[in-house]
Chain A
Amino acid sequence: MANTLPPTDRSCDISQPLERLSPDESLKAESDYLRGTIALGLLDRITSAVPGNDIKLMKFHGIYEQDDREVRDERRRQKLEPAFQFMIRVRLPGGICTTERWLKISDLACAHGNETLRMTTRQTFQFHWVLKQNIVPVIRGLHEVLLDTVAACGDDSRGVMATVNPQFPALQAELAALAKTVSDHVIPKTRAYHEIWYGEKRIASSEPEEPFYGQTYMPRKFKIGFVIPPNNDIDIYAQDLGYIAIIGEDGKIAGFNVAIGGGMGRTDKAPRTYPRTASVIGFITPDRLISVTDAVMSVQRDYGNRADRSRARFKYTVDDKGLDWIKLAIEDRAGPLESARPYDFTSNADIYGWIESDDGSHHFTLFIENGRLNRDMLDKIARIAHVHKGHFRLTPNQNLMIANIATADKPEIEALLRETGLIAFNERSVLRLNSMACVALPTCGLAMADSERYLPDLITKIEGILTRYNLHNEPITLRMTGCPNGCSRPFIAEIGLTGRAPGKYNLYLGGGFHGQRLNRLYRENIGEPTILEALDEVLGRYATERLPDEHFGDFTIRAGIIREVTEGRFSND
């Protein structure tokens, strides 16, 4: 069937010799399937860092080397190396976490993670501030509850997301199970992880170590997610590969619309880089999930740009080759796709507080500002974990759902929520409840400005403006990142802020309320007074000129404040 595929430029893909590709490709190829010298570097007592190449390889194991950037200069003058430490990201498909696992993770964070824990925008946990000698204890601790950190970062398929919308509990459970199946299917198969972190012996084998990935893995990270309309909580348009569940007349999952080529990251002042919303290319029945996943991933594996890492995400492959060509290539490998089925999203936000689903079970979604859990919060949630008979869900908006509570148990959980004061977390403004921020300073090496430490204060100031215009009950999505890489998906927010320098941000407007449309740069590199001034003006107009039920993002476009972004590749125009 390959001859049906029109020829394409292959000068930058896996068909080329390594010396023509980016150095990272050689690094992967020469890493002995992600082993590198990681095991040796852990034993080096002279530094708390690991050797340069291992830093990149460890990402495939879910581990980022970072340092406390706030003491970097001070330490340099003291002739001390930077305060290196590691971020460890758990693989938690669909954000499902049993109470046993929660308690283990909480304990590990208190023992080795500076008594803090993050719930991420991709429904998982991040430990921060883990010292080199504590990486092994953390990973072995996770192993005790059958969790791992495989492929939580790196050029591979990252953690698989799934909606937490509890309105359809049976469907949602099915989706979460699929997310787990897909995640287990797409992670690297190398034994390097077991050898380095669990201390297992290397087993000689004639089988290929990476039957799917080969030696060079993916050109770049690859993100997969599942969602059930009408709630787009996982931001399906930000995924490299998104599956939109289509519910049949029998109430069961009839299949999935397939969306490809979404992604957030861009680079400032580099117009060839841009965020892109995913394109829906067809429909498949559930039995084809794995084969279509393989087809989509292998098309990216084989045709993705490996010469220029800033153009290596699937979204650029899709635009460079053309959506039609990519669809042909996928069908060439997985067979024809059916026409996409109709679907409708209304929101990408979480539904806070109590929800009762049609099976009579109860769920409580607790707002956790920017997913940041401190010791006090961990201790309080642990009290709930000790009595809760259901499980926890980490939401794609960095919040916590206490899921599957029987009617008989609801009063006990409710009482605990009140007694611990956790319930008060939900008594926040609508704006705050619809906000997200990444971690950024002081630990993230990419950050150029603060994000999670600053957004809460900025929101307080914006709340003042909203109250003045009587807009305080209006849901508006606001997302901030410390750099343009887009971890909190700022480019599909109605108000997006990305860091440029300490205290300076780019301000984006015009994103779609449920994540369906990219925003566009409105003001560049501005500080807080200018941000507030600009928002005051635009929100003031919104208050007086808006149509009934018109969302803020839609308004900014209709009012001509910002030009609509129709496609990612035009977002820098």
Chain B
Amino acid sequence: MASQLSGVALTAEQWQLVEALGSSLTPEHAYWISGYFAGLGSALLRNSGTVSQSPDVRIPSVVTQAEPIAARSLTILHISETGNSTELAIRLATLAVEQGLNPTLVGIADYKVRRLKEEQDLLIITSTHGEGDPPQSGMEFFEFVEGRKAPSLPDLRYAILALGDMSYEHFCGAGKRLDERLEALGAKRLQPRVDCDVDYEDPAAAWSTGILALLAAEQASAISSAASPSKTTGGTQQANNSVYSKRNPFPATVIDNIVLSGRGSTRETHHIEISLADSGLTYEPGDALGIVTNNDPAMVEALLAALSMNPDAPLTIKGQTTTLFDALGKSFEITTATLRFLDHWGELTGTTDIFSAMDNTKRAAFLHDNHIIDIIRAYPLKGLDPQRFVDGLRPLQPRLYSIASSLSICPDEAHITVAPVRYKLHGEPRSGVASGHLADRAVADSVLPVYIQSNPHFRLPSNGEPIIMIGAGTGVAPYRAFMQEREANGGGRSWMFFGERNFRTDFLYQTEWQDWLKNGVLTKMEVAFSRDGAEKVYVQHRIYEHAHDVYAWLEEGAYIYLCGDASHMAPDVHNILVTVIEEQASVQREEAEEYLRDLQRDGRYQRDVY
């Protein structure tokens, strides 16, 4: 034993005493005594003047050696409405430090829920609000813990102090809920929950004393059993050697599908979280997620009805036999008609003349206004062989969505931002194939075949150079990934330009941007909401307002990114960038264009427009 504790350097006499005592102890005794000596030790340390009287007892060396052994982390979390929980938590943390523990004190407003699965020992002080609910600030935490996304917590140990008011029906409801839920998630309760009425001081103090005595005693015993092996966390980067690809998509599970657009919005933008767990798939910020989409079953049914075809009719596709219903659902584009379909249908129905009489413009307009189903309804045909019908169709293609998350913050997940395309045609509501699928049918727990599409031309600079991000609407997605990446791994200055319709309802990921501004991950942000004022304001207007600084950033080596709508925003922003350079550098327009081309060549002007 002595050799194992060589750093302590007790005298031989002291060792004899310790060993003699040790041989006579039950485990409970040993546990208690370890706490006793630990307490004594910290008392000696605090009065270090008296320690020196006994030169052989080198207390500090015990402590320095002990630190890495005290392996379990301790977090004190307070969820407060009026400040009482916070006050008690501060007191608890102070006492813990006095007892030689090393707690992290955190208020729920600053607590990242994802941290929960890394917690080891967690002491929670929570008050209750309304009908057994947590305080407002704790709502998100409770939703996470009580929701589907909650991780199992087999390694967590916890204790809860609940504050409440007896005159309410759901007395200490929040504390009770949390206690039950943490237990259900596999966490171990360190000591029973205490529920306090409005005169909480005494029960709270008793709870605090109890839990700290327990933890301090344990830490002391951890020190004495010095042989405890330290866990090595080999953080080797996993390469993307997944078996899943575009040809063999991963059947991912949808974790959540949230509408980001607030009440009364003219938009309907979804935030969809997808689990990549156990897929081996990895990605980098800037990459896209390939979605193997399918058609709305209602649409398939409507089409079959228009064709008077049997959904169960067998069909062979690439050597595989399937039903017509399945094939139309999964294998073919059945919404927008192509010129080829028009020709095909014209031949089948003998109406080729009608379509060939149209010039190109008219035909394009006709295809815009008439989907496959509309053409079939306008020029119906009975008794057609299903195989003949699908010969005129294109195969259904996967769709790409910019990934809106970073694995550094959201391991095993990919998030996407989707604004479904919805419109009316021939009096019927229609929606985009993939966007409609994602918005309406990619509900939580449903399965979505996905793969990663690398996008090496949309990447954060490798050395933390400043970045200017410009995006409108769902074009914001890759920048959320950028920010998460920089939040986790650091980086230089950043400046976001975001545009949408209305501030109140369409500020996508607003609270996250606010947090990044607050914690400095994001340096500056400009927003343009086109429908808030009498005059329409777009991102390019904000860029022009800040022309001087934008140019200065470029001159200082900033990377500039553009993501979103290819038809209006991208050319408008591009033009304003040329103007900014032209005016700020006092050069000809051609030279300004050349400046931007150079940036693009150097990979400092990256675009992801669609």
Contacts and interface: CB of A to CB of B under 8 A. Distances in A.
Asked if chains A and B come from one complex, the reply is yes
Interface of A: 45-48, 71-81, 83, 131, 269, 448, 500-502, 504, 524-525
Contacts of B503: 45, 48
B398 interface: no
B527 A80 contact: no
B261 A78 contact: yes
A46 B525 contact: yes
- Which of B198, B261, B504, B514 neighbours the largest number of chain A CB atoms within 10 Å of its CB? B504
B167 interface: yes
B258 A78 contact: yes
B34 to A, nearest CB: 42
Given A45-B527, A80-B260, A524-B167, 13 more contacts: A45-B503, A71-B262, A71-B263, A73-B139, A78-B259, A79-B511, A80-B507, A80-B511, A83-B262, A131-B504, A269-B198, A500-B167, A501-B130
A48 B504 contact: yes
Contacts of B168: 500-501, 504, 525
B104 to A, nearest CB: 24
A235 B140 CA distance: 44
B511 A76 contact: yes
Interface in B523-545: 525-527
Given A501-B131, A501-B168, A525-B167, A79 B259 contact: no
A418 B240 CA distance: 79
Nearest to A132: B503
B531 to A, nearest CB: 14
B523 to A, nearest CB: 13
B510 interface: yes
Interface string B488-509: 0000000000000001110111
A74 B513 CA distance: 18
B157 interface: no
Nearest to A267: B82
A81 B526 contact: no
B455 to A, nearest CB: 24
Contacts, number: 65
Interface in B151-193: 165, 167-168
B509 A79 contact: yes
A270 to B, nearest CB: 9
Given A46-B525, A72-B136, A73-B139, A81 B258 contact: no
Nearest to B529: A45
Contacts of A502: 130-131
24 contacts: A46-B514, A46-B517, A46-B527, A71-B262, A74-B262, A77-B143, A77-B258, A78-B259, A78-B261, A79-B258, A79-B260, A79-B510, A79-B512, A80-B510, A80-B511, A81-B514, A83-B262, A83-B504, A131-B504, A269-B165, A448-B130, A502-B130, A504-B168, A525-B168
B271 interface: yes
A465 to B, nearest CB: 25
Interface in B248-277: 258-263, 271
Contact of B262 (A46, A47, A75): A75
Contact of B511 (A45, A74, A81): A81
Contacts of B511: 76, 79-81
Given A79-B271, A80-B505, A501-B168, A45 B262 contact: no
Interface in B103-155: 130-131, 136, 139-140, 143
- Which of A45, A75, A269, A448 neighbours the largest number of chain B CB atoms within 10 Å of its CB? A45
A47 B515 CA distance: 11
Nearest 8 pairs of A and B residues by beta carbon:
A525-B167, A269-B198, A79-B509, A501-B130, A80-B510, A79-B511, A80-B262, A45-B527
A568 B517 CA distance: 49
A269 B196 CA distance: 14
Interface in B345-361: none
Contacts of B165: 269
A116 B140 CA distance: 33
A269 B163 CA distance: 14
Contacts of A83: 262, 504
B484 to A, nearest CB: 13
B167 A46 contact: no
A460 to B, nearest CB: 25
A80 B507 CA distance: 7
Contact of B510 (A77, A81, A500): A81
A131 B532 CA distance: 11
Contacts of B259: 78
Nearest to B508: A79
- Which of B136, B510, B514 neighbours the largest number of chain A CB atoms within 10 Å of its CB? B510
Nearest to B517: A46
Nearest to B513: A46
A167 B198 CA distance: 50
Contacts of A448: 130
Contacts of B263: 71, 74
B485 to A, nearest CB: 18
Nearest to A525: B167
Interface in B433-472: none
B154 to A, nearest CB: 28
B166 to A, nearest CB: 10
A75 B504 CA distance: 10
- Which of A73, A74, A79, A524 neighbours the largest number of chain B CB atoms within 10 Å of its CB? A79
Given A46-B513, A501-B130, A502-B131, A78 B260 contact: yes
Contacts of B139: 73, 76
Contacts of B517: 46
Contacts of B143: 77
Interface string B200-228: 00000000000000000000000000000
Contacts of B136: 72
B173 to A, nearest CB: 11
A126 B271 CA distance: 38
Nearest to A47: B514
Contacts of B130: 448, 501-502
A269 B259 CA distance: 41
Contacts of B512: 79
B494 to A, nearest CB: 14
A269 B512 CA distance: 37
A47 B510 CA distance: 8
Contacts of A75: 262
A291 to B, nearest CB: 41
A310 to B, nearest CB: 11
Nearest to A73: B139
Contacts of B513: 46
B196 to A, nearest CB: 13
A131 B508 CA distance: 19
A567 B87 CA distance: 33
A131 B271 CA distance: 27
Contacts of A73: 139
Nearest to B532: A133
- Which of A71, A74, A81, A448 neighbours the largest number of chain B CB atoms within 10 Å of its CB? A81
A4 B525 CA distance: 62
A530 to B, nearest CB: 12
B273 to A, nearest CB: 12
A424 to B, nearest CB: 33
- Which of A78, A83, A448, A524 neighbours the largest number of chain B CB atoms within 10 Å of its CB? A78
B404 to A, nearest CB: 11
Given A501-B130, A501-B168, A78 B514 contact: no
Contacts of A78: 258-262
A73 B130 CA distance: 14
A152 to B, nearest CB: 26
Nearest to A448: B130
A73 B261 CA distance: 14
A534 to B, nearest CB: 16
A504 B169 CA distance: 10
A467 to B, nearest CB: 31
Contacts of A74: 262-263
Contacts of A71: 262-263
Contacts of B527: 45-46
